[in-house]
């Protein structure tokens, strides 16, 4: 659509674009206003007839730099970044360009000059480019934030992905009350001219507008997580959260229905929670394989639960959704899901994803897959970072409306699980990989796990080689722009106000010396759904040897198949023993102490201070349970009432 016509229609509809966007549209040598994803896709390769395209820029001092190669394929568009660094999100991407309250690194501190100067340079560069513009909405209308996107036309593949992730809004189909509350400007060459090749996204929070300046073409920090930042900033001001989680409603073979929310840092198993358990060729389920002896352990489950996904990565917890029934109600904050497919290494590994991505019905965006022009993108053909080394972060952007069984309304959560990537642990090489198949957490401990949010072992989603690092405050801290203690308080208030929710913890990748992938969370999903509302037997639980792990299981049987004790109590593994386990517990304890110290700010809620102090004092599981009881009390208390009762219990 002609830009002038689009701007005029928007004005007639009562929608004002930022003056900077209008100025860019009027000064650009060519500007297109897109109304749907198909229009953007047609522009992505320089024309619908072109099957191959290179996104490249002339960089002073470097010459022509090719950022991305594009293939038009039968099932959509395939993009491959030329640099392995650009195939994953850099966790240090965010900078703050304004002077509003924030615990994040400011642009002026990092680079020694005010962001306003670079902002002007960015606009000057964009004025000389052919650009594409479109409206979008982040969230779940009407909860969320309207936005406008400005990209160079030769980077329309990026705009195509963004238009799938954040619902594109046509000028002629504006929902009632639509407002532009956010804007993203994309200027890829600045990665080289200003940031030494690094991924950088600058957030500039104005009075009524959240500006994002994306200086790279990987969609993770901007097209996806950048708009997550917009939602978090809005929620921080208004007093509600957008949690970093997948949500799935599960139905057992006996018609029990349980809704799980699975939270965790990047790479923590969110997308995997809404995927199928995969059987071995003989129909059994592989629990894991011993990394020392090579032993494999399998069980038999004749029938799986059926499941219906509701969210993949971000869930709105808006007050208007809450039913005041002691549980948490959430809705999806995304229009499409950014699914990592590193676990699909061959045909048949995930029949559901293979089928829906080979014949999707609508064009998809694939990242980091080895494809050919006019071929078909296959999610197990991963690009290699180097000869023989697969890229750990192949992705597909999957619109949620083509996912079979997807739930498009708010759902009420029964179980909040937290997933942690854990390394192998042995007596000779102890680590924090000491969690059993799953643990039951008192609410106070559940809050602490969300505050520290371990990024964990061999994370495929991000750059960097750190082993045990924190993503903090609910696992979404890398995307938040404000103050960490504010999010800690909001998380605690949410837990207090939803006393009927149960909390669990699952490891992935390893249980002690056993390599298990994401089986623990999927087996927990099968087991707890079968139990429905029935409580675990009193003799089934005991305080874990490491109090930070809450309660461990004495035994677990799924459909008549007992889970060996070595998967429930890691210190029972011959390769680990009590000494190896205890050494790992020290690593975990020291990590918690180090990360929690940063939350002891004056405006931390008194109840939160009590819980953190309990951790610093090496409290027992029972002491955590006394601060915030696990059992539903059939009353709904305010945060002040809970703090008062917690003090009475601790002093009794």
Task: Convert the pLDDT of each residue in 499-555 to its tens digit.
Answer: 999 999 999 999 999 999 999 999 999 999 999 877 788 899 999 999 999 999 999
Task: Convert the pLDDT of each residue in 407-466 to its tens digit.
Answer: 999 999 999 999 999 999 999 999 999 999 999 999 999 999 999 999 877 777 766 655
DSSP codes, 276-302: -----TTS-EEEEEETTT--EEEE--S
CATH class assigned to 242-333+407-651: alpha beta
Separation of alpha carbons 539 and 557, rounded Å: 14
Separation of alpha carbons 569 and 582, rounded Å: 12
Average pLDDT over residues 491-506: 97
Where in the chain are all domains bearing CATH 3.40.449.10?
A: 3-48+88-238
pLDDT of residue 646: 59
pLDDT of residue 636: 47
Give the Å distances, CA to CA, from 214 to 54, 165, 199.
19, 16, 8
Average pLDDT over residues 223-238: 96
E strand map for 187-319: 201-205, 210-214, 241-251, 257-264, 285-290, 296-299, 306-311, 314-317
Average pLDDT, the chain: 94
Give the number of residues written for the chain.
652
Where in the chain are all domains bearing CATH 3.90.228.20?
A: 242-333+407-651
pLDDT of residue 639: 62
Give the residue carrying structure tokens 């002007």. 120
Task: Convert the pLDDT of each residue in 362-404 to its tens digit.
Answer: 999 999 999 999 999 999 999 999 999 999 999 999 999 999 9
pLDDT of residue 635: 39
What pTM, to 2 d.p., does this model score?
0.94
Spacing of C-alpha 562 from chain mean position: 33
Task: Convert the pLDDT of each residue in 563-597 to its tens digit.
Answer: 999 999 999 999 999 999 999 999 999 999 999 99
Strand partners of residue 76: 73, 364
Model confidence band, residue 633 (pLDDT cutoffs 50, 70, 90) = very low
Which CATH superfamily, name and number, covers 3-48+88-238?
A: Phosphoenolpyruvate Carboxykinase, domain 1 (3.40.449.10)
Of 460, 459, 481, 483, nearest to 470 by C-alpha is 459
- Percent share of the chain, pLDDT over 70: 96
């Amino acid at each position: 659509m002609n830009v002038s016509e689009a701007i005029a229609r928007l004005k007639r509809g009562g929608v004002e674009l930022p003056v900077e966007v209008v100025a860019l549209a009027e000064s650009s040598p060519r500007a297109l206003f897109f109304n749907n994803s198909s229009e953007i896709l047609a522009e992505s390769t320089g024309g619908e007839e072109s099957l191959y395209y290179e996104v490249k820029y002339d960089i002073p001092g470097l010459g022509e730099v090719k950022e991305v190669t594009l293939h038009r394929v039968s099932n959509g568009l395939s993009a491959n970044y030329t640099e392995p660094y650009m195939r994953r999100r850099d966790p240090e991407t965010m900078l703050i360009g304004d002077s509003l309250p924030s615990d994040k690194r400011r642009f002026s501190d990092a680079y020694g000059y005010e962001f306003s100067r670079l902002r002007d340079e960015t606009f000057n560069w964009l004025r000389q480019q052919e650009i594409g513009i479109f409206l979008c909405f982040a969230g779940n209308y009407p909860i969320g934030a309207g936005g406008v996107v400005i990209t160079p036309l030769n980077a329309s593949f990026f705009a195509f992905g963004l238009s799938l992730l954040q619902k594109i809004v046509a000028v002629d189909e504006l929902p009632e009350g639509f407002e532009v509350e956010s804007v993203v400007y994309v200027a890829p060459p600045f990665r080289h001219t200003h940031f030494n090749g690094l991924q950088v996204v600058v957030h500039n929070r104005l009075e009524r507008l959240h500006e994002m300046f994306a200086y790279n073409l990987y969609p993770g920090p901007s097209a996806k997580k950048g708009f997550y930042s917009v939602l978090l900033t809005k929620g921080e001001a208004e007093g509600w959260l957008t949690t970093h989680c997948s949500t799935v409603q599960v139905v057992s073979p006996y018609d029990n229905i349980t809704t799980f929310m699975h939270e965790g840092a990047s790479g923590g198993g969110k997308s995997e929670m809404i995927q199928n358990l995969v059987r071995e060729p003989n129909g059994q389920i592989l629990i894991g394989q011993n990394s020392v002896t090579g032993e494999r352990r399998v069980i038999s489950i004749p029938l799986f639960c059926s499941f219906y996904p509701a969210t993949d990565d971000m869930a709105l917890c808006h007050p208007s959704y809450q039913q005041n029934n002691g549980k948490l109600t959430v809705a999806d904050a995304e229009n499409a899901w950014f699914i990592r497919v590193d676990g699909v290494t061959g045909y048949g590994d995930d029949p559901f994803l293979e089928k829906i991505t080979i014949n999707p019905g609508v064009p998809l965006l694939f990242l980091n897959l080895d494809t050919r022009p006019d071929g078909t993108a296959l999610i197990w053909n991963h690009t290699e970072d180097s000869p023989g080394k697969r890229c750990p972060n192949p992705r597909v952007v999957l619109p949620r409306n083509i996912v079979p069984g997807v739930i498009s309304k708010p759902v009420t959560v029964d179980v909040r699980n937290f997933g942690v990537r854990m390394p192998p642990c042995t007596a000779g090489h102890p680590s924090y990989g000491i969690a059993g198949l799953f643990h039951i957490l008192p609410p106070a401990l559940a809050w602490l796990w969300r505050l520290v949010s371990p990024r964990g072992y061999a994370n495929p989603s991000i750059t960097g080689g750190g082993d045990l690092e924190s993503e903090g405050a609910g696992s979404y801290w890398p995307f938040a722009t404000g103050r960490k203690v504010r999010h800690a308080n909001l998380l605690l208030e949410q837990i207090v106000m939803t006393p009927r929710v149960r909390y669990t913890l699952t490891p992935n990748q390893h249980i002690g010396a056993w390599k298990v992938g994401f089986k623990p969370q999927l087996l927990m999903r099968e087991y707890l759904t079968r139990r429905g509302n029935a409580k675990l037997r009193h003799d089934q639980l005991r305080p874990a040897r490491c109090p930070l792990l809450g309660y461990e299981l004495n035994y677990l049987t799924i459909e008549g198949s007992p889970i060996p004790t070595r998967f429930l109590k890691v210190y029972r593994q011959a390769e680990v023993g009590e000494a190896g386990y205890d050494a790992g517990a020290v690593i975990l304890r020291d990590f918690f102490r180090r990360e929690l110290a940063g939350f002891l700010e004056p405006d931390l809620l008194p109840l939160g201070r009590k819980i953190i102090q309990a951790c610093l004092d090496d409290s027992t599981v029972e002491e955590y349970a006394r601060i915030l009881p696990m059992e539903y009390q059939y009353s709904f208390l305010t945060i002040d009432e809970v703090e008062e009762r917690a003090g009475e219990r601790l002093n009794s």
